[in-house]
Every structure is written in structure tokens, then in C-alpha cells.
């Protein structure tokens, strides 16, 4: 009996220590504080030509993403490539709650210095909620495109057909690499606009671009031409 009590006591303290260690994990705490979309499993984050592509998202070829929150409910936003190409945004125009989005059709717009870029929805369904915070602070789109810079949540009744039109996960790295190479081929001066550490892209690749060039580039990559 004494041996059983000792073993039970040891197991109890081990479990307490495990949960305390998890609560003190600085990486997990930081992820939860800065990115509500991050789950406790700490999903992997890959980089292709400097652009981050978290594997928890599904991607549309127009550089938007969808993240499943629960069955038929998905959060959507733009990927880091789109955020860097969009750069310093003055205003974001989003659809209203209750509006129906068509997959692959124009759903929101980004405005900077009098120019405008439109983007297409990665999913088909009804808008449930928009991110008021990013409307009031468009800089979040650039600083945290996969977290606080999310755009809206959408009810997607036909998930099977919707997901069929998104990029297969195994193809995402190649797709992103092709996008980066195409961008630098069209605008060679942008290839040097990377951070000193790790070759990360500039947060505003359009900084030195004329409005008409920026609009042309965004139409090409955001599939709104």
C-alpha cells in the first residue's frame, strides 16, 4: 500500500511540473499573445526566398489564405508576399458581414498614396465578422499578416469544393518560389531589398515604385487583371 501511495504522489507532482513548464514556455506565451491564430502545437513555419508560409494555412494562388477555426468557419487574410508587395497601406476596404463571397472573385481592396489594389477571396461563403482592428490600423497587415492582420471570418458551407480549388500543401513552396522569382524578374531592383539577416524581404517592396507600376504588379500577382 505504501509503495502505491508513493507512486501516486510521484505521478501527481510530475503532472503538476509538466503543466507549470508549459505555462512558462516563453515561445508559446509569445505566440498566444501576438497571434490568436497560433495553436498550442506551435505549427511549423517555413521560409521560401525569405517569405514566411505557415503550414497551418491553406493558400489561394491570389496570395490569400484560409485558416480553419472550426467546421465551416474559416478566418482569411493575405500572405506575407502580398503584405510586402502591398507595403504601407493607407486604407483597407472589406465586405460587410452578411455579404456572400465568391471564391476567386474580388473581395477587398488595399489603398496607398491614391492607388488601389484588389484581392480575391480564397473561399466561398458568407462573411461573419470583419477585423475592426486592422481597419483602424492597416499597418497590422504588414507587421503580422498571419496573426493580428487577419481580415475576416467566413462561413463556408461547401468546404470540399472550396478546398479543392486551393493550392495542395506540397505545391505551396514551389508556388511561392515562382512568385518571388517572377517578381524579381519584373522588378530586378527589388531583389536587393532584403534584410541584412537571413535575406528577409523588405516590409514595403513598393516603396520606390510608381503608382501605375504598383497597380500593374498587384493585378498580376493578386489575379485581378
Find, among 182, 140, 208, 168, the residue nearest to 49 by Cα.
182
The predicted structure's pLDDT at residue 43? 54
Find, among 104, 132, 128, the residue nearest to 118 by Cα.
104
List Cα–Cα distances, 176 to 18, 83, 99, 179, in angstroms.
39, 13, 30, 5
Sign of CA dihedral 80, 85, 88, 93: negative
The predicted structure's pLDDT at residue 217? 94
Mean pLDDT by 10 residues, the chain (225 residues): 41 43 35 36 75 95 97 98 96 98 98 96 98 97 96 98 96 95 86 60 88 95 94
Please state the pTM of the whole predicted model: 0.79
The predicted structure's pLDDT at residue 194? 58
Cell of 168: 495542395
Can you tell me the distance from the alpha carbon of 123 to that of 116, in angstroms, rounded to the nearest whole number?
22
Amino acid at each position: 500500500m505504501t509503495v502505491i501511495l508513493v507512486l501516486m504522489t510521484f505521478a501527481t507532482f510530475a503532472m503538476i511540473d509538466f503543466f507549470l513548464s508549459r505555462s512558462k514556455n516563453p515561445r508559446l506565451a509569445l505566440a498566444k499573445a501576438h497571434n490568436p491564430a497560433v495553436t498550442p502545437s506551435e505549427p511549423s513555419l517555413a521560409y521560401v526566398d525569405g517569405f514566411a508560409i505557415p503550414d497551418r494555412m491553406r493558400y489561394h494562388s491570389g496570395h490569400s489564405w484560409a485558416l480553419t477555426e472550426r467546421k465551416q468557419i474559416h478566418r482569411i487574410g493575405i500572405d506575407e508576399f502580398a503584405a510586402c508587395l502591398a507595403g504601407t497601406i493607407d486604407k483597407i476596404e472589406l465586405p460587410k458581414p452578411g455579404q456572400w463571397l465568391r471564391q476567386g472573385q474580388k473581395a477587398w481592396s488595399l489603398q496607398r498614396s491614391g492607388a488601389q489594389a484588389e484581392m480575391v477571396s480564397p473561399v466561398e461563403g458568407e462573411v461573419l465578422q470583419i477585423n475592426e482592428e486592422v481597419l483602424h490600423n492597416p499597418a497590422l497587415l504588414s507587421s503580422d499578416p498571419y496573426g493580428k492582420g487577419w481580415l475576416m471570418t467566413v462561413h463556408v458551407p461547401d468546404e470540399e469544393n472550396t478546398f479543392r480549388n486551393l493550392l495542395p500543401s506540397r505545391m505551396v513552396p514551389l508556388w511561392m518560389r515562382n512568385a518571388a522569382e517572377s517578381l524579381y524578374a519584373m522588378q530586378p531592383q527589388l531583389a536587393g531589398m532584403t534584410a541584412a539577416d537571413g535575406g528577409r524581404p523588405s516590409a514595403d517592396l513598393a516603396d520606390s515604385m510608381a503608382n501605375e507600376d504598383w497597380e500593374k504588379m498587384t493585378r498580376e500577382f493578386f489575379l485581378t487583371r
